């Protein structure tokens, strides 16, 4: 079958238009910001640091296995839920959808949370027993029982760092950071790699957080409809002999 020249030309034009529309749609959605963090094995959770102090009476009957190399005995954070990566714009953002925090297994998921003030946090107890969460120094989030499968809500009141603890499980602690200019937050994988999807063109900053505080320098990013790679962010370095933890 012979297709007329006009028919072939019409098909080519249609295909070109479809391709152009696809590229335009991709551009409208935005690009990716891709990066990684390093040095995270040197981050120390305050719970561990306090447990080292004899005054805390945090005793254990476990013994070190001498055949295990010292480098593998050192505690290191589980970064997919203990390190948060924030993407910041130049203007204050409105609160987004409520964020659910799972309480179970002796920890919260996530452990570090970053969101704009006004964001509602929903604590969901997935354990088979009660938890009694409270905010350190926060009258509006005092100790209260949360039964099995129950939920408890709290709204980030302002910019700053807020620590959540549990009267029934002293080692359970998490941190919430209120950041007005936060566009989006994500968590790295076990290798320290992270990404932000569909980011509109503009200028941004990428900042890592751990235990309620900023860790590592902020990385500036300028986006223009093309994926951008952020240089690795060093969030911690080895402590020198005799140097105390923060």
CB atoms within 10 A of CB 235: 25
Conformation bin of residue 165: beta by default, left when phi > 0, alpha when psi is -120 to 50: beta
Architecture category of domain 1-61+68-91+182-239 in CATH = Sandwich (2.60)
- In this prediction the pTM is 0.81
CATH code of the domain made up of 93-180? 2.60.40.420
pLDDT in tens, 7-33: 544 444 344 433 344 444 444 467 999
Share of the chain above pLDDT 70, in %: 79
Least confident of 15-29, 104-118, 156-170: 15-29
CATH 2.60.40.420, the chain: domain bounds: 93-180
Q: Which of 40, 96, 57 is nearest to 211 (CA)?
A: 40
CB atoms within 10 A of CB 204: 25
Adjacent-strand bridge partners of 124: 102, 151
Cβ distance 120 to 155 under 8 Å?
yes
Q: How does DSSP classify residue 101?
A: E
Question: Can you give the pLDDT at residue 244?
Answer: 56
> Residues in the chain, how many?
246
Cβ distance 132 to 195 under 8 Å?
no
Q: Which helix (H) or strand (E) holds 216?
A: strand 213-223
- Residue 195 Cα distances to 37, 98, 188, 209, 228, angstroms: 11, 22, 8, 15, 10
pLDDT in tens, 37-73: 999 999 988 876 676 667 766 656 566 677 877 777 7
Q: What is the 3-state secondary structure (H, E, C) of 111-171?
A: CEEEECCCCEEEEEECCCCCEEEEECCCHHHCCEEECCCCEEEEECCCCEEEEEEECCCCC
CATH 2.60.40.1120, the chain: domain bounds: 1-61+68-91+182-239
Q: Which residue has the higher pLDDT, 246 or 33?
A: 33
């Amino acid at each position: 079958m012979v297709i007329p020249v006009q028919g072939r030309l019409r098909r080519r034009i249609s295909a070109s238009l479809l391709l152009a529309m696809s590229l335009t749609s991709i551009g409208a959605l935005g690009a990716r910001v891709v990066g990684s963090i390093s040095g995270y094995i040197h981050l120390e959770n305050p719970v561990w640091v306090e447990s080292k102090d004899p005054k805390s009476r945090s005793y254990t009957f476990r013994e070190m296995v001498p055949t295990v190399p010292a480098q593998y005995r050192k505690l290191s954070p589980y970064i997919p839920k203990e390190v948060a990566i924030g993407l910041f714009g130049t203007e204050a953002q409105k609160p987004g959808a409520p964020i659910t925090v799972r309480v179970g297994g002796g920890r919260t998921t996530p452990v570090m949370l970053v969101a704009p003030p006004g964001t509602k946090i929903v604590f969901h107890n997935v354990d088979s027993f009660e938890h009694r969460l409270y905010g350190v120094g926060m009258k509006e989030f005092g100790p209260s029982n949360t039964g099995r499968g129950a939920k408890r809500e709290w709204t980030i009141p302002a910019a700053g760092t807020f620590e959540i603890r549990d009267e029934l499980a002293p080692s359970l602690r998490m941190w919430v950071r209120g950041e007005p200019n936060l566009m989006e937050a994500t968590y790295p994988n076990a290798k320290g790699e992270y990404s932000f999807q569909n980011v509109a063109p503009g200028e941004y900053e990428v900042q890592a957080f751990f235990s309620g505080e900023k860790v590592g320098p902020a990385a500036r990013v300028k986006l223009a409809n093309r994926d951008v790679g952020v240089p690795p962010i060093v969030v911690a370095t080895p402590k020198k002999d005799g140097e105390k933890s923060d």
